[in-house]
Structure 1
Amino acid sequence: MNELITTSQNEQGEIIMSGRELYEFLEVTTPYTIWFERMSEYGFIEGQDFITKMLESTGGRPKQDHHIKLDMAKEIAMIQRSDKGKEARQYFLQLEKMWNSPDMVIKRAMDFQQRKILELENQIKSDMQYTNFGKVVAISDGSINVGAFAKLIYDEHGIKIGRNKLLEWLRDKGYLIKSGREKNFPKQQYVEQGLFELKPTIVKRTEGDIQSGTTMITGKGQIKLTDVLLQEFKRAEVAN
């Protein structure tokens, strides 16, 4: 069957086409936007029967277009009451018959399944590095300090952020206390969530030893923070 009007398939497996291409085939003389507005008055609903699209144009304003479903296109063709309208409607009826044939139904199902497989494979590839890291950390009960974590995420994920910048990032994100005697200590809410722990340490001074603490990132915290850092660095790469 010769393709009079270009059609495609949306994510729901429905036939769609350009409103402008249908308009041009029907040889309508009324400006497109006015014509389409009139057609919409026959009870067609945006988001259900069509969606609005803006086409890029060279040197001028973007032009309005629409992706319309096959049922809407058939009704519009019938409304035109012209030879072109009749030709378009007959074409759509043949297209619908072919589209619903057993062979096409099977083909669409196989195409859909193949797309899902490819999407899953791409997702697995994207997540694999983090997943492997998560498995290693999850089976370890050991907490590490911020400097060791900075080295770990660089070695495992290529996130280039040293100890001091990581501390600054943790303070800015609200994980660590920003100032005072407890600066760089984890906030209590994140300790309770199991992301951090505070390891007591003794600082020796001439006037006497004082007790302090070292912020340690737990296995759970390493997984959580790695996820957040990966997302943030991905956004930064896209922005650049």
Structure 2
Amino acid sequence: MNELLKINYETEQPTVSARDLHAGLEIKSKYADWFKNMSTYGFTENEDYMTVSKNLENGGRIIEHFISVDMAKQICMIQRNEKGRQYRQYFLDIEKAWNTPEQIFARALKMADQQIEKLKASNASLVEDVQRMRPKEVFADAVSVSNTCILIGELAKILKQNGVDIGQNRLFTWMRENRFLISRKGTDYNMPTQRSMEAGLFEIKERTINNPDGSVRITKTVLVTGKGQQYFVNKFLK
């Protein structure tokens, strides 16, 4: 995949420079005016984007914004031109690669490795226990402290990769039958039950979208928390 824009993977979620995106999309208006206009489409500072002030060599200052890939994807859709379509597809591919079971597993193992090194340094007697840990155990422990939430479909892929014969649709059905998700038809269908939310197994991401005709719609996405990933992985593996 050709790199249209540099992606920063050092944060909890991948981000890109809004200024670089502005240049890549070949926007004619000034960056400050453009970003101010884009940020009114239901985006939240410190959640969808961060504002950073940088010093210039000539003594001046410049304002930079680092936005999530999800925000960048939606901004590209708003542009409604070929450049916007091209960059949106690029971000879709980045997002898809970031959320593959392999990448989630790799991030969890990396976090586990960091924890292992801390344990080795603080208490040499724990080395034997560390060596005993298998990848499935490491993964389950790592995601419990992770801030990365994933879709239920991605959880199904992780379970499948670890020997559980289940797919996305069957996992949804299982969660409804076991009262983790609401089974009654209506606006709350497939939303987490009250007990699931109180247990910290899921979170609901809401986004307000301004339609071109001036109307507003709210979308809800159910995500499995790190604690929820550990809970379901352990439950199925046992």
When normalised by structure 1's length, the TM-score is 0.47
The structure with higher relative contact order (CA 8 Å, sep 6+) is 2
Larger Rg: 1
When normalised by structure 2's length, the TM-score is 0.47
